[in-house]
Structure formats: C-alpha cells, structure tokens
Amino acid sequence: MKRKTSVILAALALALSLGHADAGTKFVGSGAVTITTQATGAGSASGYLGHIWNSTAQTQYIGCDYTAGPAPSVMCHARSETEQFAFCTTGSAFLAEALAAVGPDVRLSFTWNASGVCDSITVQHSSTFAPKL
Amino acid sequence: MSGRGLSAAGLVGAALVGASLGSAVTWFSMKGGVAVVETAATPLRSREIPAVPATATAATSATWVETGDDRTTGAGVPGPAPSPESPASPAPSAPDPVLALAAAQRAHAVVDSAIARHEWTAADAAALREEIDRLSPDAREDVLRRFAVAVNRGALVPRVERIPF
C-alpha cells in the first residue's frame, strides 16, 4: 500500500513537472510603463501592453496614434504609475510603418529628442509576454 | 524617406536576445536624418502572435488636398450637372488661409494658457480638439511638438484621465 502511494505521488510529480516545462518561459517583470527622461528633454518610454492591461494599475498607459493621409502624423504617448508623462510626434511615414507591427500583447517603446520629435519606435513580439486577458 | 540601413552590431545583439527569448524585434529609427530599420527574429507561428494592423483613423488632413475647380468630377473631366433631387456629396474644401491661421493662433493660445497654469485639463484637451482639425499639417505638428516638449520637460502636467486628446 505504501509502495503504491509512492508510485502515485511520483507519477503526479512527473506530470506536474512536464506540465510546467510545456508552459514555456515567461516574462517575470511587471511590464509596467517605464519613462526615462534626460535633462535636455529627450527620453524614452516602454511598456508591455498585455501586462499593463492585466495589471491592477489604474492610470498607466502607452500607445501611439497614427493618422494616415498625405501628411501622415504619429503621436506616441505614455503615462507611468508614478505620474510621469511622455509625448512625442512625428510626420515620418517611415516611423509610421512600425505601427503596423503593433499587436495587442507587444512590448512597445519609443524615444524622442529634445524637440519632442519621436526618433525611434520599437515593437517587440515574444512568446514570453502575457496576452491580454 | 531615404534608404534603409542595417546595423550589424544591433542585429547581432538583438539576434542573441531574440534567440534566447524566442522573440521578434523590429526597430524603426531616424539616425542623422537616415531612416533605419533593424530586425531580429526567431520564427513564431502566426497563430501564436496574430498580426493586427495598426488602427488608422480617417485622415483629417485629407481636407487639405487641393482639389481645384472640379472638386466632384476630377480635373478636366466634365461631370453631370448637379440634380436638385440627388443628394450632393459634400466636396472637400480647401482651407481658408485666414481661418487656418486664426485656428493655429487659437491652438497655440490653448497650449500657452495651459503651460502658464502648469496643467493640461480636460477643457484644454477639448479646446485643442476643436482647433486641431482646422490646422494645416505643418501647423498641427508645431502645436503638438510644443505640447510634447512642455510635457516631456515637466512644464505641463496632464490632469486628464486618459491620453491628452
């Protein structure tokens, strides 16, 4: 009886460990909006869309708006839980292309210069990121 | 836009990170006036990361397209005479430069006032929204950049719950 119990427990442990292995690597950070600014007014912002949506945080956001047309316009904006704000804009059709890669669960980051002009937009997809629930 | 370059160092670094995390990274950046795209990817099946197109809103600046005299029929092509029975589709009108200038002045005044108060309120957002679609693309960029610089330097603190506009 004792031996039977041990076998069952071993099988259960094996099943649990296999299940964990199948789950895949997960991003373990908070994924919250992070904003860094320099004395010049330039800076960067980043955040994980799925993590932000799923978190209990109430005020943070990050995103970019794209207005298409003869003069395309991109506006990126972010707000952290520590009440930092970031905003940049650009008329670059090239940077606007980056927004086509944005999905609901990506890591989005952007940087801007001292004139408030967005000078990079980064979109990262990863199996490690949490989806919006 | 000018050509695209590729940073080998960035690619190698990103590839290492991407390989370790199973990720795909795309950078779009402007370096010295040159558009640069850098990518590093490990294959991800499309069912795992569905491609979702960015939301594109209707171009407010489309009203700035010069339409000439033949606004409804195309240049040089005579169209049918407008019928009083058929509803005429509203033709996009070229902006009145005087009105556009006045709108730009009001938009800048909204930003100036907010900076003086050191806060961006819902009323400011509504006032700017009222003017923004009347601006030329260049004037729109000017106003938004002034707003951006003020926010990024902490001279203007948004007091609105969601995005500034």
The complex's ipTM works out to 0.79
Inside any domain, residue A97: yes
- Chain-centroid distance of CA A40 in Å reads 26
Percent of chain A with pLDDT over 90: 74
- Tell me the mean pLDDT in the region B19-24: 52
Say what the pLDDT of residue B25 is.
Answer: 67
**Would B3 be classed as within a structural domain?**
no
Q: Are B129 and B112 in contact (CB under 8 A)?
A: no
| 3-state secondary structure (DSSP) of residue A84 | coil
Q: Is residue A19 part of a domain?
A: no
pTM for the model stands at 0.65
Lowest-confidence segment of A66-70, B139-143, B153-157 by average pLDDT = A66-70
Over residues A68-125, the pLDDT tens digits come to 888 889 999 999 999 999 999 999 999 999 999 999 999 999 999 999 999 999 999 9
Residue B85, min C-alpha distance to chain A (Å): 32
* Residue A33 placed within a domain: yes
Closest chain B residue to the Cα of A43, Cα to Cα: B152
Give the nearest partner residue to B152 out of A95, A112, A120, using CB atoms.
Answer: A112
Is A6 inside any structural domain? no
Instruction: In whole angstroms, give the CA distance from residue B146 to residue B133.
Output: 17
Q: Name the domain count of chain B.
A: 2
A9: in domain: no
Q: Span A39-61, mean pLDDT?
A: 95
Of A28-32, A103-107, B26-30, B64-68, the one with minimum mean pLDDT is B64-68
Instruction: Give the least confident one: A67-76, B58-67, B97-106, B120-129.
Output: B58-67
Between CA A65 and CA B111 the distance in angstroms is: 20
Percentage of chain B exceeding pLDDT 90: 32
Domains in chain A, number? 1
Full DSSP string of B124-140: HHHHHHHHHTTS-HHHH
Least confident of A22-31, B80-89, B111-120: B80-89
Average pLDDT for B8-33: 52
Report the C-alpha gap between A100 and A96 in whole angstroms: 8
Q: Give yes or no: residues B104 and B37 share one domain.
A: no
Searching chain A, which residue's CA lies closest to the CA of residue B41? A125
Q: Which of A31-35, B56-60, B92-96, B143-147 has the lowest average pLDDT?
A: B56-60
Expressed as residue numbers, the domain containing B109 is 94-165
Residues B101 and B164 in one domain: yes
- Kindly state whether residue A74 falls inside one of the protein's structural domains: yes
List the single residue in B22, B57, B165 with the smallest CB-CB distance to A126: B22
Which of A22-31, A64-73, A124-133, B38-47 is the least confident region? Answer: B38-47
State yes or no: pLDDT of B70 exceeds 60.
no
- At residue B158 the predicted structure's pLDDT band, cuts being 50, 70 and 90, is very high
Of A91, A104, A116, nearest to B152 by CB-CB distance is A116
Among residues A106, A99, A93, the alpha carbon closest in space to that of A31 is found at: A106
Closest CA to A44 of A32, A28, A33, A29: A33
Mean pLDDT across A55-66: 93
Interface of B with A in 76-135 (CB under 8 A): none
pLDDT at B97 over 90: no
Our measurement of the distance from residue A127's CA atom to the centroid of its chain's CA atoms, rounded to an integer in Å, reads 12
Give the whole-angstrom CA distance, residue A80 versus residue A130: 19
For A61-99, letters b (16+ CB in 10 Å) and e give bbbbbbbbbebbbbbbbbbbeeebbbbbbbbbebbbbbb
Predicted confidence (pLDDT) at residue B66 exceeds the cutoff of 50:
no
Distances (CA, A) of A91 to A21, A71, A126, B106, B123: 46, 7, 28, 22, 26
Out of B22, B28, B50, the one facing A103 most closely (by C-beta) is: B50
* Residue B110 within any structural domain of the chain: yes
Closest-CA distance, A9 to chain B, in angstroms, reads: 33
Separation CA B27–CA B39 (nearest Å): 6
Query: Does residue A50 lie within any of the structural domains?
Result: yes
Instruction: Write the burial class of residue B148 (CB in 10 Å: 0-12 exposed, 13-18 middle, 19+ buried).
Output: buried
Q: Which residues of A touch B23 (CB under 8 A)?
A: 124-128
Structural domain including A100 reads 26-124
State the pLDDT at residue B51.
35
| Interchain contact, A94 vs B30, CB within 8 Å | yes
Strand segments, DSSP code E, in chain A are: 34-37, 43-48, 61-67, 73-79, 85-90, 107-112, 118-126
In this structure, are strands B119-120 and B157-158 parallel, antiparallel, or unpaired? parallel
Higher pLDDT, B141 or A23: B141
> With 70 as the cut, is the pLDDT of residue B122 above it?
yes
